[in-house]
Amino acid sequence: MSKKDEKSPQVDEEELARLTAKVEKLVKKSQTKELQNLVKGKQPASNKPGSSKDEALMREKIQTLMQNLALMEQSGQLKNSNKKEMGDHKFWNTQPVPKHDELVTAIGPIEPSIPVDQVPKNSPTLPKEFEWCEIDMNSEKELKELYELLTMNYVEDDDAQFRFDYSASFLKWALQPPKWRKSWHIGVRVATNKKLVAFISGIPADMRTYNVTQPLVEVNFLCIHKKLRSKRLAPVLIKEITRKSHLEGIFQAVYTAGVVLPKPVGTCRYFHRSLNPKKLVECNFSRIPAKSTLTRMIKHYKVPDVTSTVGLREMKVSDAPEVRVLLNKYLERFDFAVVFETDEDVEHWICPHKDVVWSYVVEDPETHKITDMFSFYSLPSSVINNPKHSTLNAAYMFYYAIDVPESAKKTPADEIKYIRKRLNALIADALTLAKKANFDVVNTLDLMDNSLYVDEQKFGPGDGHLNYYLYNWKCPDVKRQKVGLVML
């Protein structure tokens, strides 16, 4: 991305106050209960007395204003920064992605697929001091090189206090699912000493956007050594993973980023649930609330010592076929979701992997049918320059599913009520199990039905947002509670 000539336009205090006042005015005019349902992700009860087109329009206005404020905050327009304007993405403006101001109403490719024999056979040219390579995930030496590159140069928070610390076993799980391709594990080395200085990856996935399901590439782990970020390697890496996927006949991709690019299909917010308040405070991850104490904080976040759900047990490989049916059915609730096409997909992604993934099912003691499942994975962070702690052990909520009985489906409100109650019971047990596994915090996004449990289970909103993007594929915007894809 090239440097821009002018600073991004800033929103002054008067403009921010005007936007905030608009939201407040609309909020006051709407019914309190309806607004609470909206914030918590409930479906509006349009058939209730008092519901009207005006109220629906009002809800839409509130959502639009809040989304605009969130986008402005993420893009740096609400603080004094030099981040890019929305239109100043010279690389992305050349790619088959929707424009920031484009209203998308259709579903389908932006550019047509091309015959594989017309895909360029050679990689794009790198600066002369670098060379392309493929990373062999089965080589301990190369896996260690990748681990070291990511550990020292990958995602860290704005204050440079925490940095993701992907273990070797995690990377093998993340990058070697069924039908993985070595050619999609792309690296850049220094030509003279062969040091690995950049990486990008792709894995095969099946995605459903509204009513269309198709194979695509999940692009992840774009990482460039900190000292080389002026070399403009990112666009070249993206072009290469695009070329490599085209050679396999796949012309669409999905990816996520904390920054705002053209154009998010959906945006979710991070939430955090403390399990070890003392350590989180010492790491500056959390702060003791005003007029409170650490002792009160520890008491507030204490979780039960034992689980409460009857029939809860660790998932087994033999559960994969039943879990696949249950999970795919539950994911039909969402407009932008992964599809688990084979039992092998479930065995790889959902079944427990030591120190990587924890998965549990609920088996009915009488029928032995699996009625529910949930999972979480481990992604610790290095704590930078902290005298007491070097690692923050974080669990991330992964996929879950609930079999909603027909008796609970009489109305949409009945179904939501059942899911809310059942999901809170399951997540409460997940917190107990995560605490037993020595996690310090459980993180989640407000996607899927997560808004139904974050408040009751004492998750607090974080500063981070995650934007979802599609490459060479367009679809209408997806609300956060309709996102059913968890990317690592």
Catalytic residue selected from 171, 175, 431, 488: 488
Is the separation of the CB atoms in 441 and 258 below 8 Å?
A: no
The two beta strands, 336-338 and 483-484, are parallel
The DSSP string of 338-387 is E---SHHHHHHHTS-BTTTEEEEEEE-TTT--EEEEEEEEE--EEETT-S
**How many CA atoms lie less than 13 Å away from 114 in the CB half-sphere?**
11
Please tell me whether the peptide bond between 263 and the residue prior to it is cis, using omega within 30 degrees of 0: yes
Tell me the CA distances in angstroms from 104 to 352, 483, 484, one per residue in order.
39, 17, 20
How far apart CA 402 and CA 16 sit, in angstroms, is 42
How far apart CA 381 and CA 7 sit, in angstroms, is 33
First to last CA, the chain: 25
To the query of whether residue 38 is one of the catalytic residues in this protein, the response is no
Give the start-end residues of each E strand in 169-239: 185-190, 196-209, 212-224
Residue type at 170 in one-letter notation: F
DSSP-based three-state secondary structure for 62: helix
Using CA of residue 247, residue 251, residue 256, residue 258, what is the dihedral sign? positive
Work out the number of other CB atoms within 10 angstroms of the CB of residue 308.
11
How far apart CA 55 and CA 314 sit, in angstroms, is 45
When computed from its CA atoms, the radius of gyration of the chain, rounded to whole angstroms, is 23
> For the purposes of burial, counting CB atoms within 10 Å of the CB of 365, is it exposed (0-12), middle (13-18) or buried (19 or more)?
exposed
The CA-based angle 52-58-59, given to 5 degrees, is: 95
Q: What angle in degrees, to the nearest 10, is found between the helix axes of 53-74 and 32-39?
A: 40
What are 82's two structure tokens? 């030099």
Provide the total of helices (H) and of strands (E) in the chain, helices listed first.
11, 17
User: Locate tokens 């932006």: which residue?
Assistant: 110
> For the purposes of burial, counting CB atoms within 10 Å of the CB of 122, is it exposed (0-12), middle (13-18) or buried (19 or more)?
exposed
The alpha carbon torsion through 6, 8, 14, 20 (nearest 10 deg) reads 170
Catalogue the active-site residues: 488
